[in-house]
């Protein structure tokens, strides 16, 4: 399996890199400082076709795959993780569930705007007592007069409260089968009575990413808002996460690359005891290790993405990619901050923001411990 980029993929990467450097990077610090998602940047990403990258043309997409999406996410994550995660969640958690499991009517109603970046959607899975153990879901949905009546709460939901958020898809217990919870997924449009988007979180990082807790109090939606087969919501969620882990791995690789590039530039310009910092062997070795991490992370996510695009099993490779790349992002952020010294503690420097932002990469869309569990099970250790 070749990891060599095609001409089209090289052009995509160059286009997004130019956009990242010219449009995204200049606004990143102010957006982070004010905790503001720049919807103009989101609009421009939509016009570039980035939200439609892994979808077929017949539904309004660009006819690409998760490899193409990964290339875009890596370049965006290099300069601004908040913008990158807005794209990643908009695709993997917002549009992809509708594409995979939606009815013809649901696809026609929602996909055009989602794939054009004119609307965003969230995926309501995590709850106060149901994180890695998503089977512990307590949110319920019962049928009453042709409507689902939803009660419960969700937390840490990305893209759930922007001015262009169209809906959230929520997992809810809809009954019981063979003594076990029957978990289904249901589309809940924003503005539904009883559905409350609570105030945004005050987060450690990803300040410009939109993240809210959600509350449902007798929220009613039509029975036809069921997404996919009743009782298959948890299984569908696992498929969505496998793909999303490739995307998060690509974003993480971009963050690690951004820290590497910033460290090289700073070490060459910074003078210490009359010499450039880059002449010091400790700095050289630190940066060399950063490059090795980026290389390994990139190989891991690209391999998983190629398998996914080829229709081959990729679950374990996606777990390896997310584990490897999120570790690389966190380790490179720490080393870059040390290279920068006191400046690395100042938020106007990108490495400081990467230091704060990268921790969540080891948690969101499956913790590092979950990835290790997936890998261990594949080895017959469970």
Residues taking part in catalysis: 365
- CA gap 27, 320 in Å, rounded: 33
Reading the block at residue 168, the tokens are 């959230």
Of the candidates 16, 4, 157, the residue with the CA atom closest to the CA atom of residue 78: 16
- CA gap 16, 75 in Å, rounded: 6
- CA gap 260, 133 in Å, rounded: 35
- CA gap 120, 109 in Å, rounded: 13
Reading the block at residue 92, the tokens are 């993997």
β pairing state of 165-177 and 120-124: parallel
Termini Cα distance of the chain: 30
Of the candidates 162, 157, 92, 151, the residue with the CA atom closest to the CA atom of residue 120: 162
CB 93 within 8 A of CB 160: no
- CA gap 16, 21 in Å, rounded: 9
Reading the block at residue 275, the tokens are 């010499």
Helix H or strand E segment including 275:
strand 275-276
Phi, psi of 25 (to 5 degrees): -60, -45
């Amino acid at each position: 399996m070749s990891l060599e980029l095609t001409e089209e993929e090289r052009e995509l990467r160059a286009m997004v890199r130019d956009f990242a450097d010219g449009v995204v990077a200049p606004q990143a610090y102010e957006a982070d400082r004010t905790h503001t998602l720049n919807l103009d940047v989101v609009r421009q990403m939509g016009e570039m076709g980035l939200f439609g990258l892994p979808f077929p043309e017949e539904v309004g997409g660009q006819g690409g795959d998760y490899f193409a999406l990964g290339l875009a996410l890596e370049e965006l994550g290099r300069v601004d993780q908040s913008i990158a995660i807005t794209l990643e969640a908009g695709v993997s958690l917002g549009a992809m569930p509708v594409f995979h499991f939606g009815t013809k009517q649901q696809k026609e109603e929602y996909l055009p705007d989602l794939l054009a970046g004119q609307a965003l959607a969230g995926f309501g899975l995590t709850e106060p007592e149901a994180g890695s153990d998503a089977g512990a879901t307590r949110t319920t949905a019962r049928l009453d007069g042709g409507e689902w009546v939803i009660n419960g709460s969700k937390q840490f939901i990305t893209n759930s409260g922007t001015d262009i958020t169209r809906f959230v898809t929520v997992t809810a217990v809809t009954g019981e089968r063979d003594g076990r919870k029957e978990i289904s997924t249901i589309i809940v449009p924003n503005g539904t009575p009883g559905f409350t988007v609570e105030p945004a979180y005050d987060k450690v990082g990803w300040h410009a990413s939109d993240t809210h807790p959600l509350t449902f109090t007798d929220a009613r939606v039509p029975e036809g808002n069921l997404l996919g087969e009743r009782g298959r919501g948890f299984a569908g969620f696992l498929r969505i996460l496998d793909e999303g882990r490739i995307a998060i791995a690509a974003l993480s690789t971009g963050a690690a690359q951004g820290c590497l590039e910033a460290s090289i530039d700073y070490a060459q310009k910074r003078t210490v005891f009359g010499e450039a910092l880059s002449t010091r062997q400790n700095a050289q070795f630190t940066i060399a290790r950063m490059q090795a991490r980026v290389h390994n992370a990139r190989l891991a996510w690209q391999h998983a993405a190629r398998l996914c695009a080829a229709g081959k099993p990729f679950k374990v490779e996606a777990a390896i990619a997310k584990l490897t790349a999120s570790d690389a992002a966190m380790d490179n952020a720490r080393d870059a901050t040390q290279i920068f010294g006191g400046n690395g503690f100042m938020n106007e420097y990108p490495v400081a923001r990467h230091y704060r932002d990268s921790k969540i990469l080891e948690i969101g869309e499956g913790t590092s411990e979950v990835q290790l569990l997936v890998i261990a099970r594949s080895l017959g250790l469970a």
